[in-house]
Amino acid sequence: MRSDTVTLPTDEMIEAIRTAKLGDDVFGEDPTVNRLEALAAEKMGKERALLVTSGTQANLVSLMAQTKRGDEVILEAECHTYYYEVGGISAVAGLIPRPLKGVRGSLNPDDVESAIRPKNIHFPEATLVCLENTHNRAGGAVIQPSVMRKVHDVAGSHGLQLYMDGARIFNAAVALGVDVKELTKHVDSLMFCLSKGLSAPIGSIVVGNSQFIERARRIRKMLGGGMRQAGIIAAPGIIAIEKMVDRLREDHENAKYLANGLAKLNGVSLDPSSVETNIVIFEVNIPGVDSERIASMLAEKGVQTLSIDNNRMRAVTHRGIERGDIQYAMDAFREVWERIAK
């Protein structure tokens, strides 16, 4: 339960890899990649799409394609791009991050409004606002379409673009029971991951208008992400989009079930009603025991979790983890708790 990135490809995906029609995608000639990109653009209601190697590369390529070095980018203070991407936003893209504190991962449109400074010779120029939906470090929290619309309006009224790190955007759509376009229509561009809950082995997709994708394609090449017979990556990606979305509901139900169990343990702070998708983040306050220690005690019993801070832990549900596995995990938690929190 460390992450939904551990999901393995389905048998159908392996077969699709074996039989995929291939070509050289740097020349634009891989028919399977072209099919995946057309499908992704259509699903998201945007002009075009681009297959990239990872979510991290998707964010970097997207940010670079919409800004120039020295620009300011407004984002949420615990978002993946700022927190978990090795500082590429500054080290590679040359951007100045302007982190704003959000509530459950969501930016307040008024805070965005006041963070956008007027044109002045002293200030870097802000050109982009980023949202993350669902928000990883906020426990898979969903940002509502109405909030996204407001942030988009504020950004647009000052001439800024809105970009969405939608690594788990299908989890948000399934949780809200809406078509994913309800969440993409208020952003200028976005990315999503094929390799998380959707179970494809590799890849993420950048989506937006033609001009943006054209630039993103050049930057992907610059970063060494131009791939040749990438149809072997695209083939399982097509199955991910067409067949793996609806089952995310199961992951959400399992996460909720797990959260209900964890909330009963002494020293755990967790409101199960805050678990909207497949990520369960909980705080553990037991004197003398940090979350790293708890994670290793659980691992000894075959239950893998992540320590994300001194006193915060994360468990993620995904394909391959069934209701019975959650019950097994809860037994392991209770055994560990008997030793650490009498």
Question: Under the rule (CB under 6 A), what is the footprint of ligand PLP?
Answer: 54-56, 59, 80, 132, 136, 165, 167, 193, 195, 204
Closer residue to ligand PLP in complex, CB, 141/336: 141
Residue 331 beta carbon to ligand PLP: minimum distance, rounded to whole angstroms: 28
Closer residue to ligand PLP in complex, CB, 158/312: 312
Query: Distance between CA 82 and CA 76 in Å, rounded?
Result: 8
Residue 340 beta carbon to ligand PLP: minimum distance, rounded to whole angstroms: 29
Residue 6 beta carbon to ligand PLP: minimum distance, rounded to whole angstroms: 11
Tokens of 140: 């898979």
Look-up of token digits 């009224």: 157
Residue type, 332: A
Closer residue to ligand PLP in complex, CB, 31/201: 201
Query: Distance between CA 79 and CA 137 in Å, rounded?
Result: 7
Closer residue to ligand PLP in complex, CB, 75/154: 75
**Contact between 320 and 287 (Cβ < 8 Å):** no
The closest residue (CB) to ligand PLP is 55
What residues contact residue 145 under an 8 Å CB cut-off, 6+ apart? 176, 178, 182, 183, 185, 186
Residue 308 beta carbon to ligand PLP: minimum distance, rounded to whole angstroms: 12
Closer residue to ligand PLP in complex, CB, 167/298: 167
Residue 202 beta carbon to ligand PLP: minimum distance, rounded to whole angstroms: 9
Residue 58 beta carbon to ligand PLP: minimum distance, rounded to whole angstroms: 7
Number of residues that this document lists for the chain: 342
Query: Distance between CA 91 and CA 178 in Å, rounded?
Result: 37
Helices then strands (H, E): number in the chain?
14, 11
Closer residue to ligand PLP in complex, CB, 193/329: 193
Query: Distance between CA 6 and CA 24 in Å, rounded?
Result: 28
